Every structure is written in C-alpha cells, then in structure tokens.
Amino acid sequence: MNMIFKIARTELRNLFYSPVAWFLTIAFMVQCGIYYTYPLYPLAKWQEVLMENTPKFKDLGLALTTSLFLAPDGIFMNVLQNLFLFVPLLTMGLISREVNNGTIKLLYSSPLKIREIVLGKYLAIMIYNLLLVGIVGIFMVTGLFNIQHADYGLLLSAALGFYLLVCAYTAIGLFMSSLTTYQIVSAIGSFIIVFALSRIGNLWQKYDLVRDLTYFLSISGRTTKMLRGLITTKDLVYFILIVGMFVSFTLIKLRAGRESKPWYIRTGRYLLVLGAVLLLGYFSSRPGYIGYWDTTANNANTLHVNTQNIIKEMKGEPLEITLYCNLFGGGVARGLPENRNDYLWNLWEPYIRFKPDIKFNYVYYYDVRDGDSTLSVTWGHKSYKEIAERMCEGYEIKPSLFKPGAEVRKQIDLSPENYRLVMQLKYKGRTTFLRTFDDPTFWPEELQVAAAFKRLLQDSMPKAVFLTGNLERDINKNGEREFKYHTTAKDNRYSLVNIGFDVDTLLPETQSIPAGAAAVVLADPKTTLSPVTTGKLQTYINNGGNMFILGEPGKQQVLNPLLAQFGVRMMDGTLIELSKDEMPHMVKPFLTLEGTDLSQEQILSLLKTAIREKTDSFAMLMPGVTGIEYTNGGAYTIKPLFQTGTDKAWLKAGAVVTDSVAPAFSPAEGDTKIPHYTTAVSITRKLAQKEQRIIVTSDADFMSNMRQGGGFIGRSMYSWLDYGKFPIYTPRPQPMDTKLLIGTTAAGILRILYVWVMPGLVLLLGTVLLIRRKRK
C-alpha cells in the first residue's frame, strides 16, 4: 500500500510539472466562473430592481440553487457536457509516457507489482479529480453564502455525481493510454469509448436478451438522478464497476507485456472481467436490491406521503401491470420494446422503490374499432395483417410480436379505451385501467397513479351523480357548452374518471338518488323541476347529501325555489363588466380567501398567501353570470368563493345584447349596482355524523368543455365536496432558496474574481513552478 501512495505522489508531481494539468485546471476554473457568475449577475440585478420598485417584494419565486447550478446554463450541466473534452487530454500520457520514455522497462524490472503501478497512477488521477471537485466546491460554498436557504443536499449529491463521472472517464483514459504509445491516439480512443458508452444504451433494445445489459452499460444519464438530488445504489455500483472494469483491463494489458500467453487466454481475461461486471450490474439494478437517498430539502424525488401510504396498504400480493400496445393505436411508439426501459425506469421506478414486487407484462396486438375503415382505406384496402406487416417493417420489428385483435378480444375488451396504449393494473383479483395522454407528459402522473392504486384497494369509489331530465349539461357530449371534458373524457388526465371518481347520470323522475353519492350535480337545468324531482332532491338534502348546483342567468326561477331553504338566491338579471377585450357579459370575479381552502391544490396554497398579503389573486372568467344573494344565521353557514372586483360590475335587468354597443348602466330600466357581487358560494351544515357540503354557482359555462372544466378550480370544488379524499393530492413544500443575499456590485466583483483574478493567479503559480522546474 505504501508503494501505491509513493507512485501516486510521483505521478502527481509529474502531472503538475507538465503544462497540461495547469492548462486544464485554469480552463476548468474559467468555465465554472463563467457559468456561475454570468447567470448570477442578472438575477441579482432583477432582485434589486424589484426590491426598489415593488413594496411587497418577498423573493424571486425561483429555486435559485437549481437555477444557478443545474439549469441548462448552470455550472453542473455545462461542466458535465464538456467533461469528456478535458479528461482524454489529462490521461493520454499516463502509461504511454512511460513507454515513450523507456521507463516502463525499469518498472517491469523493478520489484513493483503491476497492480501497484496501475493503482498508484489511478489514485493520482483520482486525487486530481478531487481538485476539480474542489474547484466546483468553491462555487458551491459561494452559493451557500449567496443564496438564502440554499439546498446544500442537492449540491452535495450533484458534486458526488460529478466526481464519479470524472473518475469513470479517467479510468477509460487510463486503459486507452496503455494500448498505444501515441498520446494523441490514446486521447482519440478515449473519446471513442466515452461516445460508445453514451450510445450503447440505445443499441439492441428490441431484444430481451441484451436489453438490460446494454442499458446498464450506458453512461449517458447516469448522473441525472444525482443532479436532481437522488442517490441510488444502482448508480453508485455502476460507477464502481465501470472504474473497476477499465482499471482491470489496464492490469491485464500491462501484465501481458511481462508474460507470454496465447491470445485466447488474454482475450478470456477481458471477457471474464466484462462478464463479472455485467452480472454484478444486472443483479444490483434489480427491484428490491436498490437503495435510495433523496438529499433534496423537500424530498422532491420521492413519492408523496399520501401515495406512500396507499402503497403500504398493498401488501401480501404482487401488483401486476400489463401494458397493452396496439400497433394501430395512439402512443404505439412509447410502448415498443426498444422503449421498455424508459417505461420501467422513468415511469415506474418511484413506485418500485416502495413496492419492488411489481410484475410487468406486455401484450402487443393490432386492432381497430368495429366499423372503422379509415386505416384500410389509407393503406389501399390492404388487410389488417398486411398493414401490420408493413408497419412492422417501418418500425424494424418482427411482425410475429403482434397478435391479431381477435385473439386479444377473447381476453379483454379494449374498445372503451379506444384501443390506444393503456395499462391494466391487477391486484387481488381487482383490475383498473391506467391511461396515457396525448400531451407533452404522455405518461400518467402521481395524481392518476395514486387514484388507480386506490381503486384496487377500495370496494367503491366516490361517485358524482349528474341529474338529467331537465335539459342539464351533458357529461357524454363534446359540445363546447357540455361537461364531458372534466367528467368522463378518458383522454383528459384531470377528468374525474382519471383522478379517482366514478361518474354517472340519473333521471330522478324514475330513479332514486343514491344516499352514498359524493355529490349530486344539478348542472344548469333549463326547465322547471317536477314535484317528483323536487321531492327526491329535498329528501336527499334533508338526509345530509352533498350537492353541486350550477345556474345560469335567465334560469333563476328554476333554481331559486330549491336554493331558498339555504338562504341563497340567484339575483334577477345578468352581471355586466366592461373591458376592452371581452364582451360585456363576460365577468371575471376573483377567488376569495375562503375559496383557497377548497383543496390541497398547490396553486391554492400560493394564492392563499397572496390574497392574505394583498399581493395577488386569481380571476375566473365566467361568461354569462348573475349575482348570488345570501344570508347567514340559519342552520347553514354560507361563504363566498368568488366575488367581483370592487365597483367593477353591475347587474343589468332584462335581456343583454352582447354583439352590439356596450350596454350602459340605467337605474331607470331596473339596473342595480353594489360594490361586490358574489358568483359562487359554499354552504355547510353540521350534522351528527358529518358536515353537509353544497356549492352553488350562478354560472355553468366556466365548467364547460370550452373552459376545460374549470381547471384546478373545478377539481378543487369536487375535492371539497368529497372532503378532500379525492383527488389524492401530492403537494410539495415551496422552495426556500428563492432569494439572493448578494447585490449587483458584489456579483460583479465575483465575476471579476472568479473569471479573471483566480485563474490568473493559478496561471502565474503554474508558470513560476514550470520555469523553476525547467531551470533545475
């Protein structure tokens, strides 16, 4: 061991007695200085501007640790992208220099062992790598002083990933240096090996036998999780094995220079090392054998505790997930075998971490909806089998992989899923679908996955029952005024059916209203409710049932008789709010402080703080709305959810013409005006077993297909009616590193110091040392 340290010390001395190490150190310092100070200065400038001109300024609202260190123009991202340019220049002479100088013969003839030579030289490079980490560490420490509440756990994880990657690159360079006496060839060889390892993860992914092996060998993206603050044993073992493999290759190569062995024995040694690395790598990356450490301040890389609790309930039996991939369906490319590792490790790894006994199945088929001849016409009236063969030729996969639709139909009916890429989850005999979506994310998010898991555990899900029979909004139509988008649309990731609710319609004239419904929805009835409907609704309300009642101007007489028992009345007329952009009947009431308590939506927590501090609010466009009058003091407690801005709107009596001259306020015609108009209220009543909850809005269009079902406000209203059980929200703490502790003057000084002064001092030191060395 002492000899290894002596060799390392000698190698370090030789390293710094050459201009290469000094050049790389200076170039690395300049690079880090540029990518830290250049983003820092404009951020500091904007903060000063905002502090001087915004009295209620709190912070920049950005996670500054990520912005300065991990953004595309931050230190780590740029350093890692350019790292492969530095390392070959550093390692190209490690062994080849000994050969060119003739000292390799002295080493061979000395009592030194080959492993001591190799390990000593590699130890020297590892120490130099620590110097590079130390340079990055200067900026990390600076960041801790420049950023309030900087996420140091994230920085340490990123630094570890950087160090392991540079050690892997230098191990490759060490091996390539042993293969040739030409240093430039060694450098080029290192480039080629790094490039090959970066691309090998995309090779032969169509084949089950080698998919996992090539994916494991890939060095591309190996530091991604560490840069996000997640350290896994799988990645740690990978770097250890890669370093060990190339160091072992170097040992084998140098040992071959001291002994005479047949070529197949030397080749066998290389294959033996490679096989051992692949075997250890394969088993170390199996689910259940991977350890995780989330170093971020808010556990950003870990499933929310709500999701973890659901997974904890799934004990005693594996979860089975079957991916159904239709060659003719939407999303087919994402489901093909070459993308299977992306599917497993990007979508499912966070869940495998807590439930490693997930079993994955794959079914590939080709099918279309009955009566749909579009595909056949497009392909020149070829048979579906012929079309499948031609498409497989384009995808470069075997047609035998895909089953005819008739075979799959015998096992499962996928027509309700429109034959697109979909997953079926099975647990203890229960099944449910988990869908994909045609948006930039494509795969389901934690919100949808948690809801699907819950479906496998519960006997029933909360049901939203939509009443029919009085020309209400339809949950099965795609028209712009209808309600399908946020209720039954399977292609909308935030529709009720995808976030944990069951949705159904009910005709109260002939059917009974279920007492256990999460909410009964009366969406803009246009005809008078019959005595039978009114009686059933009254019974449901008296028994403590929750309701969502949506009205419209001109239909006040339909709903006011029902609302009277709550102390609520929709006012006669239509609200008018004049603006330069919208028609006069399109009003923008603001969310109230009480409205921010509807759900755990992330944005609502931000709005609550903003509304309390009177720095911001949220306006919901309601196209055609009236005011709501209410009185408290009875059995029900009523709170406003949306109100118009102060003196922004007035109530127009009679009909409103929206495509002509803007209406004028006319008291003579019955128009009225008050400071605020309420457009949505929450109603609660304390009962023996629960709290009854009712929401009333004087507009239904804001929940229509055209308005995306009310967005997060619509989801929040359903969540409130279901007592926050669904959707299963996974809110994250807001980042705390959102404010700089440095001004533009100090940032400018840092720029000069880190980009010019410190590299200049290192240049001066290196120059003096090299000149003195040359004189000696």
Q: SS3 letters for 354-392?
A: CCCCEEEEEEEEECCCCCCCHHHHHCCCCCHHHHHHHHH
Same domain, 140 and 207: yes
Q: Is residue 290 part of a domain?
A: yes
pLDDT at 723: 96
Q: Is residue 737 part of a domain?
A: no
CATH number (domain holding residue 668): 3.40.50
**Alpha-carbon gap, residue 484 to 487, rounded angstroms:** 5
Domains in the chain, number: 3
Question: Please, which contacts does 486-492 make with residues 24 or more away whose CB atoms are closer than 8 Å?
Answer: 486/703, 486/705, 486/708, 486/709, 486/710, 486/714, 486/715, 487/709, 490/416, 490/417, 490/418, 490/435, 491/418, 491/435, 491/437, 491/438, 492/437, 492/709
pLDDT at 664: 86
Unique residue bearing structure tokens 């959810």: 641
Count the alpha carbons within 13 Å of 282 in the hemisphere toward its beta carbon.
12
Whose CA is closest to 484, among 495, 492, 475, 473? Answer: 475
Q: Where are the beta strands (DSSP E) in 55-191?
A: none
pLDDT at 16: 83
Q: Is residue 52 part of a domain?
A: yes
Whose CA is closest to 727, among 436, 352, 461? Answer: 461
Domain boundary (393, 422, 457) is at: 457
Same domain, 198 and 318: no
The angle at the Cα of 765, spanning 764 to 771, to the nearest 5 degrees, equals 90
Same domain, 11 and 120: yes
pLDDT at 103: 62
pTM metric for this prediction: 0.90
Task: For residue 432, give both structure tokens.
Answer: 């449910």
Same domain, 507 and 421: no
pLDDT at 73: 83
Q: Is residue 191 part of a domain?
A: yes
Same domain, 437 and 508: no
Same domain, 274 and 164: yes
pLDDT at 308: 95
**Alpha-carbon gap, residue 302 to 340, rounded angstroms:** 22
Same domain, 389 and 498: no
Domain boundary (402, 437, 457) is at: 457
Task: For residue 772, give both structure tokens.
Answer: 């003195």
**Alpha-carbon gap, residue 688 to 142, rounded angstroms:** 59
Helix axis angle for 2-16 and 114-146, nearest 10°, is: 60
Whether 505 contacts 475, CB under 8 Å: yes
Q: Is residue 300 part of a domain?
A: no
Same domain, 467 and 421: no
The single-letter DSSP state of residue 344 is I
The single-letter DSSP state of residue 774 is H
Residue 524: domain span: 463-721
Q: Is residue 452 part of a domain?
A: yes
Same domain, 486 and 353: no
pLDDT at 245: 92
Domain boundary (721, 737, 757) is at: 721
Whether 537 contacts 543, CB under 8 Å: no
**Alpha-carbon gap, residue 532 to 542, rounded angstroms:** 15
Pairing of strands 568-570, 628-630: antiparallel
The angle at the Cα of 202, spanning 200 to 206, to the nearest 5 degrees, equals 120
Which residues have C-beta within 8 Å of that of residue 224, sequence separation ≥ 6?
none
Same domain, 351 and 476: no
Same domain, 270 and 348: no
Same domain, 671 and 770: no
Q: Is residue 583 part of a domain?
A: yes
Residues of the chain below pLDDT 50:
none
Q: Is residue 127 part of a domain?
A: yes
